[in-house]
Amino acid sequence: MRLAFFPAALLLTTSVQAADLNHEQQQWLDELTGKFELPRAELTEAVAQASYQQSIIDAMTRPAEGKPWHQYRPIFLTEKRLQQGVAFWQQHADTLARAERELQVPAQIIAAIIGVETFYGVHMGSHKVLDALYTLGFHYPPRGEFFRSEFGHYLQLAREQNWSLDEHKGSYAGAMGMGQFISSSYRHYAVDFDGDGKRDLFAPTDAIGSVANYFHQHRWQWNEDVAYPARVTDADTADALLSPALEIDKTWAELAAAGVVLDRQLDADTPVKLIKLDGLEGPEYWVVRHNFYVITRYNRSPLYAMAVYQLSEQIKQAYEQSR
């Protein structure tokens, strides 16, 4: 359950004036001024409006993706999320069908993304986006450069959308809307799918079209599979083919020669990748294809991609049975 408010005394927040920034942070503002062609005064004012949030740093250091698969999967693959996914598809069937026709991305994938990200718009985040991007960009060195860039994108986005800087809330990482787009993705991939002249990812129609457009722009292949459960005849030989890279890096011929077995036929030159997940009863091997890699363009985690894929298959089956 998300609490609507906390007593002010319990919140660790610190408003920051530009004069409080050290020399390095002042240089960062100069860099953002050049990169985004924003007036220095506008950046200074944005920093002055922002508040440091220790809770954001805490959340950043314990992401769900750090869990093993057998603990990660039950977070997202639940009966309630499945049933809400079917209801979401039923409610927005025409919009999802148009996204399929125009952008060639399956309805179940779009629904699963929105389901995993925000439970179909129920939980879109409680942190001010400005605070999140300031906190991570200026006070979280491991990802500071990335989040400073997102801070600049957010200021540009606010200009483009005619928002006030403190208008929207999102995730602890500054992601927004039903599909949880970061600011740069909002600027590059959001679409006005309902034709009202605005790109509003907090509303279902634009969110559906924008998630579909994101996958379309990342070259989702219509009618191509995502992943197959696999068996291995020799774990050591198969494990030698594993790699931490997300890219599809093998052919089916290579995996088959290493003793990887599927319950289906693939052409020898089919591009694939072998992944291994920590299942409840031992290792799970999967052979994944290009579309699995596309899901990791949305979130760079094989666990996330597998959760989206499996939820999408459950939603599709339940939706078809409900018709």
239 contacts: CB under 8 Å, gap ≥ 6:
276
Q: Which residue bears the tokens 């952008």? A: 103
Q: How far is residue 167's CA from residue 149's CA, in Å, rounded to a whole number? A: 19
Q: Which residue bears the tokens 């001010």? A: 128
Half-sphere exposure of 199 (CA within 13 A, CB side): 20
Q: How far is residue 243's CA from residue 231's CA, in Å, rounded to a whole number? A: 18
Q: Which of 117, 224, 247, 281 is catalytic?
A: 117
| Angle between the N-to-C axes of helices 302-322 and 290-298, in degrees from 0 to 180, rounded to the nearest 10 | 110
Any idea how long the chain is?
Answer: 323
117 flagged as catalytic: yes
Q: Which phi and psi (to 5°) does residue 11 adopt?
A: -95, 125
Please give the helix or strand (H or E) that residue 127 lies within, else none. Answer: strand 127-128
Report yes or no: 179 and 211 within 8 Å, Cβ to Cβ. Answer: yes
Which residues have a catalytic role annotated?
117
